[in-house]
Amino acid sequence: MSLLTGVYGLFVREMLKWFRQKIHIIFAFIVPIVWLILFGKSFNISYLLEAPVGVPEPIREAVQQAIQLMILRIFGTLDYFNFFAVGMLNAFALFTSMWSGMSLVFDRRLGYLERMLAAPIPRASIYMAKVLASVAKGLLQFTVMLILVFILGLSLKPGINPLDILAVYLVMLALMLALSAVFTATAVKITSHDAVISISNLVNLPLIFTSNAIFPVEQMPAWLKSIAAVNPLTHSISLSRYLLLGIGKPSAMTLHSSYLLIFTVGCVALGSYLASKYL
Amino acid sequence: MREEAVDVDALSVVYRNSVRAVDDVSLVIKRGELFALVGPNGAGKTTLMKVLTTLLKPTSGRAYVCGLDVVREAGQVRRRIGYVPQNLSADDELTGMENMLLQCRLYGVSGREAVKRSRQLLEVVGLLDAANRVVASYSGGMRRRLEIAMGLVNTPEVLFMDEPTLGLDVQSRLVIWDYIKTLRKQEDITIIFTTHYMEEADKLSQRLGIIDRGRIVALGSPEELKRRIGGDIIALEAEGDVEGLLRRLSFVDSVSLVNGGYRVKVVDGEENLPKILNTLNENGVKVRKVTLIKPSLDQVFVEFTGREYKEEEPPDYLMQTFIRSSRRR
Ligand SMILES: Nc1ncnc2c1ncn2[C@@H]1O[C@H](COP(=O)(O)OP(=O)(O)O)[C@@H](O)[C@H]1O
Ligand SMILES: [Mg+2]
């Protein structure tokens, strides 16, 4: 039997269960809306930094111009919502992937894991099916969010073409694969759902704050910068901002994509190894 | 090459908390047998079965299923066996049919063949009408039947069933017995099941092993084992020199003490019970209680362990299995 025996069936199982639990679906799509609309639209940096009215007109114009240049330098776009929304698309890849271990915990509890372990399929298949299902859910959620941010006024870079969108999907695929691989692997040995929840909660916000999801890396202190440099989110966010908004130097993208690729391959390989050894 | 269905040699399993769940067990089960492993809760039935189904590595000793080493050739063993676990483990958010199709896929059967086989097996266990309902809506008996059907998708050479009637009412248990018997008749299959109901092992199996505290204490056909008691048993509660008085009687085989009562083994109990009572009476022994017991597997258990057989589940039984299943293997 091949390495992938059973993956398809188990993947379909995960998806069936997900679609059947209406509550999962609602959460998967309502929570991003809350973040995007309530958080994304409540912070309007262009308004906050408008030159005050009392300033004499010619100077005011100049100041206003200077401020706009400054915002553009920091965020790469005049509307912070653009910057934030793309960050959030990536953040939600994390928020969704970090629960990927839970279904393994429950399968262990409810005895289904034993059933899978008794079947003549590779241990890694059980693991990969969970990872792929988590990625599929993430990509569906991503699609809905992409449409939503567009409706909310995301201004795509001029002359964007379908290949850019395809490339963003590949970036998200890589990111979700890597993160789901890591979080599913935590549940290979950890058998209590409390522990898995704690781990997820412990790492999720730090991962967001040490990336450029909400604030640009350039203005961080050096020690934070070096953490951001190894955080896969930084790289996927830079790539997706480049592809969707045209922010960032084209020359930097090779580094970002190489890092993301290597990180993803590493995580999936390590996770599969742990699963085949310890599941 | 027709190796034995199961060949276990000096097998022990010690859990991390140093519980010796299986203790130096050796056992051969031939092809085509309907074999029962019977014993009280915590005797080690599930543990032994997990070793045979490759889910647990033994601490020492060897086990072969269909001539294959369960540790070194685990993958091959898995392909040839079916396993119906003690805990209900079909996915209850999926329908019966979906569970069957998925189970087929796990054993490399897909497409039309999977649908055909699933329908066939669901029909055998009488679940075709409920095939498209989610398992959460099934009764306990239906769920057990589904579990059995799921254990058969790969037409296994050896089918392992861990307490297939656990938690069922009498009616549903009889239905499961019927399926097991039919299965046994139709297919060239070895069936090994565990139970803590002595009566079930007696009625259903061709051969059985009684397991207690990790050890096989008796092995044979139900008739053989009952014959080994060598007569009927008269249980007595009385004060005085019961042992001394009764040992003198020619038809009394042995007298022993179990749980503060006397166990008197006699030939032809109906005939000799009055004589025993007379003897005791004449010698001034006051008999408080007397029971005539025909040979049964319960008595075989007492015979080999010196303890009464209690088959009722401890009250925290479900809780224990819950904790156990969530614990690391
Ligand atoms: N995972 C485990 N860790 C530690 N002890 C266990 C574990 N599983 C079972 N045991 C212990 O091993 C013994 C045998 O258990 P088990 O094989 O489940 O018996 P049975 O199936 O006959 O009821 C019991 O004392 C039980 O408490
Ligand atoms: Mg058991």
- Do B137 and B267 sit in the same domain of this protein? no
Radius of gyration of chain A (CA): 21
Residue B149 identity (one-letter amino acid): A
What was the pLDDT predicted at A2?
A: 65
Label residue B187 by pLDDT band (50, 70, 90). Answer: confident
- Does residue B311 carry a pLDDT above 80? no
- Domain hosting B33: range is 4-225
Which band of pLDDT confidence, cut at 50, 70 and 90, is reported for residue B322?
very low
Contacts of B168 (CB under 8 A, 6+ apart): B140, B141, B144, B176
Confidence band of B320 (pLDDT split at 50, 70, 90): very low
Distance (Å) of CA A195 to CA A99, A105, A198, A201, B322: 12, 10, 5, 10, 18
Largest separation between any pair of C-alpha atoms in chain A:
80
Residue with tokens 């963003």, as numbered in its chain = A168
Interchain CB distance below 8 Å, A13 and B94:
yes
- Considering the domain architecture, whether residues B257 and B165 belong to the same structural domain is answered as no
Please, which residues have CB within 8 angstroms of residue A224's CB and are 6 or more apart in sequence?
Answer: A210
| Average pLDDT taken over every residue of chain B | 90
B329 is a domain residue: no
Q: Starting at the edge strand that comes first in sequence, how are the strands of the sheet with B232-239 ordered?
A: B252-258, B261-266, B232-239, B286-293
pLDDT class for A1, splitting at 50, 70, 90? low
How far is ligand 1, taken at its centre, from the CA of residue B42, in Å?
A: 5
CA–CA separation, B130 and B141 (whole Å)? 13
Q: How far apart are CA A1 and CA B309, in angstroms?
A: 46
A158 alpha carbon, distance to own chain's centre: 24
- Pairs of residues, one from chain A and one from chain B, whose beta carbons lie less than 8 Å apart: 78
Number of residues in chain A: 279
Chain B residues within an 8 Å CB radius of A117: 55
Least confidently predicted of A83-92, A135-144, A269-278, B312-321: B312-321
Give per-residue pLDDT as tens, B228-284.
888 899 999 998 888 888 988 889 988 988 888 899 999 888 889 999 999 998 998
Nearest CA to ligand 1 atom 26: B42
- pLDDT exceeds cutoff 80 at B194: yes
Could you give the C-alpha distances from B174 to A37, B203, B263, in angstroms and in order? 61, 11, 32
pLDDT number for residue A56: 85
In a domain, B276, yes or no: yes
Q: How confident is the model at residue A78 (pLDDT cuts 50, 70, 90)?
A: confident
* Nearest Cβ partner for B55 among A9, A114, A189: A114
Q: Average pLDDT for residues A199-226, to the nearest whole number?
A: 93
Of B177, B197, B225, the residue at which a domain comes to its end is: B225
CA of B196 to the centre of ligand 2 (A): 9
The pTM of the full predicted model, rounded to 2 decimals, is: 0.89
- Give chain B's largest Cα–Cα span: 80
Q: Which residue has the tokens 């925290």?
A: B316
Residues B96 and B35 occupy one common structural domain:
yes
Mutate which of B91, B150, B153 to disrupt the A interface (most A C-beta within 10 Å)? B91
User: Is B207 found in the same domain as B69?
Assistant: yes
CA distance A149 to A130: 28
Q: In whole angstroms, give the CA distance from residue A273 to residue A174.
A: 19
Task: Judge if B204 and B169 occupy the same domain.
Answer: yes
Averaged pLDDT for residues A178-187: 96
Tell me whether residues A16 and B98 touch, CB distance under 8 A.
yes
Enter the tokens of residue B108.
């490399």
- Which of A237-241, B27-31, B137-141, B286-290 is the least confident region? B286-290
Q: Which residues line ligand 1 (CB under 6 A)?
A: B 15, 17, 19, 21, 39, 41-47, 324, 327
Instruction: Give me the CATH number covering residue B25.
Output: 3.40.50.300
d(CA B188, CA B80): 13
Q: Which chain A residues are within 8 Å of B87, Cβ to Cβ? A: 111, 114
User: What pLDDT, in 10s, does the model give residues A29-66?
Assistant: 888 888 888 888 888 787 888 888 888 888 888 888 99
Distance of CA B13 from the midpoint of ligand 1 (Å): 10
Q: Are residues B150 and B270 in the same domain?
A: no
**Rounded average pLDDT over B119-130:** 95
Q: Is the pLDDT assigned to residue A171 strictly greater than 60?
A: yes
Instruction: Round the average pLDDT of chain A to a whole number and report it.
Output: 92
Question: Is pLDDT at A101 greater than 60 in this prediction?
Answer: yes
Distance between alpha carbon B152 and the CA centroid of its chain, in Å?
A: 19
Which ligand places an atom closest to the C-alpha of B22? 1
Contacts of B150 in chain A (CB under 8 A): 115
pLDDT tens digits along B134-155: 999 999 999 999 999 999 999 9
Measure the CA–CA gap between B282 and B240, rounded to whole angstroms: 12
What percent of chain A clears pLDDT 70, i.e. is strictly above it? 99
Comparison of pLDDT for B315 and A269, the residue scoring more: A269
For ligand 1, the distance from its centroid to the CA atom of residue B57, given in whole angstroms, is 14
Residue B326 has pLDDT above 60, yes or no: no
Tell me: do B10 and B90 sit in the same domain: yes
Chain A nearest C-alpha distance from B18 (Å): 20
Write the DSSP symbol of residue A37.
I
pLDDT value of residue A120: 96
**Where do the structural domains in chain A lie, given as residue ranges?**
3-43+79-278, 45-78
Q: Which of A16, A17, A23, A114 to mutate to test the interface with B (most CBs of B within 10 A)?
A: A114
Asked whether the predicted pLDDT for residue B163 surpasses 50, the reply is yes
The CA distances from residue B261 to A225, B226, B233, B236, in Å, are 81, 21, 12, 6
Is B303 part of any domain?
A: no
For residues B267 and B175, state if they share a domain: no
Q: Are residues B15 and B144 in the same domain?
A: yes
- Whether B197 and B280 share a structural domain: no
Identify whether B81 is part of a domain.
yes
At A113, list the tokens. 């894991």
Helix ranges (H only) for A50-192 are 57-75, 80-97, 102-110, 112-118, 123-151, 162-189
Residue A3 confidence (pLDDT): 67
B320 occurs within a structural domain: no
State how far the Cα of A234 lies from the Cα of A228, in Å rounded to an integer: 6
Q: What is the mean pLDDT of residues B170-192?
A: 90
**Chain B residue numbers touching A133 (CB-CB < 8 A):** none
Domain CATH number, residue B243 = 3.30.70.100
Give the mean pLDDT of B81-110: 96
For residue B89, the model assigns a pLDDT of: 95
Let me know if residue B174 belongs to a domain: yes
* Residue B328 scores a pLDDT above 80: no
Residue B134: DSSP 8-state? B
B2 band by pLDDT with thresholds 50, 70 and 90: low
Query: Measured between beta carbons, which residues in chain A are less than 8 angstroms from residue B53?
Result: 118
On the question of pLDDT at B321 being above 60, the answer is: no
Residue A99 near residue A193, CB atoms below 8 Å: no
Interface contact A109-B94, CB threshold 8 A = no
B162 Cα–ligand 2 center, Å: 7
- Ligand 1 atom nearest residue B47's Cα: 17
pLDDT at B79 over 80: yes
Average pLDDT over residues B84-108: 96
Q: Looking at residue A4, what is its pLDDT?
A: 75
Nearest CA of chain A to the CA of B265: how many Å?
45
Q: Is A197 helix (H, G, I), strand (E, B) or coil?
A: helix
Surface-to-core class of residue A163, CB atoms within 10 Å of its CB (0-12 exposed, 13-18 middle, 19+ buried): exposed
Please give the span between the terminal C-alpha atoms of chain B, in angstroms, as a whole number.
34
Q: Cα separation of A132 and A126, whole Å?
A: 10
Domain count, chain B: 2
Judged by phi (left if over 0) then psi (alpha if -120 to 50, else beta), residue B23 lies in beta
User: Which of these ranges, B71-80, B111-120, B140-149, B176-185, has the smallest mean pLDDT?
Assistant: B176-185
Residue B312 pLDDT more than 80? no
A117 inside 8 A of chain B by CB: yes
Q: Report the 10 Å Cβ neighbour count for B270.
A: 10
CA nearest to A37, candidates A148, A139, A159, A126: A148
Q: What are φ and ψ of residue B58, in 5° steps?
A: -70, 155
Residue to substitute from B93, B106, B150, interface A, most A β-carbons within 10 A: B106
What was the pLDDT predicted at A49?
Answer: 83
- pLDDT in the model for residue A184: 96
Task: Report yes or no on B321 lying in a domain.
Answer: no
CA of B85 to the centre of ligand 2 (A): 9
Whether A115 and B328 lie within 8 Å, measured CB to CB: no
End-to-end CA gap in chain A: 19
- B323 pLDDT tier (thresholds 50, 70, 90): very low
Q: Could you tell me which chain B residue has the CA closest to the CA of A190?
A: B328
Whether residue B314 is contained in a domain is answered as: no
